[in-house]
Amino acid sequence: MNNENPVRIVMLGNSITHAGNWKELLHRNDIINGGMPGWTSEQISWLIKDYVEPNKPLLCFYKAGINDYSLGITTDRIERNHKMVLDSIRECGTMPVYQTLLYQMGNGSINREIDMLNERMEAFCKLREYEFLDLRPIFCKNGDLREEFTYDGTHLTEGSYIPWANVLLPVIRKYGL
């Protein structure tokens, strides 16, 4: 996919991941963005064969699920999809990094489901020794997405990607990148 530089980091996710200019944000040329707007967690699993398997990156940051909730997919099914994606990434020899699903502003019932999902995924990542990155302390407050970080209640503003990138850096350094 990238002939000039080996790919060391893959970003997998939906439109929220897609909107980040990760090469610029992280000052790297060894990163590719596999964010797909509108895709569910199951659809994102299809990208592993295109982004992770052929590139054999050291890290794959994964963040998805809000589109699933928008389509009425249950928390249990989203959890199964997330676990399958993370295990599939690991089977490629890449360390998966689960990034927490963020809230949907003003949607308390979905936000409680998101908390339950993130809690389950944290336990799963601990069990499997996968990386778990909680983005909620940055972007959320009192069980909701902070207004200053979103332009529509779901998607992040351009400036929101700077603090997100800063949270990725310790994980990237931990793996010597």
pLDDT tops 70 at residue 18: yes
For residues 8 and 55, is the Cβ–Cβ distance under 8 A?
A: no
Does CATH place domain 9-174 in 3.40.50.1110?
A: yes
Helix (H) or strand (E) holding 122: helix 108-128
pLDDT at 153: 84
Place of tokens 């659809």: 43
What is residue 2's predicted lDDT score, i.e. its pLDDT? 43
| Contact criterion met (CB below 8 Å) for 32 and 1 | yes
Question: What is the three-class DSSP state of 139?
Answer: helix
φ/ψ of 34, rounded to 5, equals: -105, 30
Tracing tokens 């089977």 back to the chain, one arrives at: 91
pLDDT in tens, 28-87: 999 999 999 999 999 999 999 999 999 999 999 999 999 999 999 999 999 999 999 999
Q: pTM for the whole thing?
A: 0.94
**37, 72 contact by CB (below 8 A):** no
How far is Cα 144 from Cα 77, in angstroms, rounded to an integer?
23
Residues 6+ apart with CB under 8 A from 22: 9, 11, 28, 31, 33, 165
- Residue 5 is predicted with a pLDDT of 76
pLDDT digits (tens, 9 = 90+) for 78-135: 999 999 999 999 999 999 999 999 999 999 999 999 999 999 999 999 999 999 999 9
**pLDDT tens digits for 2-13?**
456 799 999 999
DSSP-derived pairing of the beta strands 95-99 and 131-133: parallel
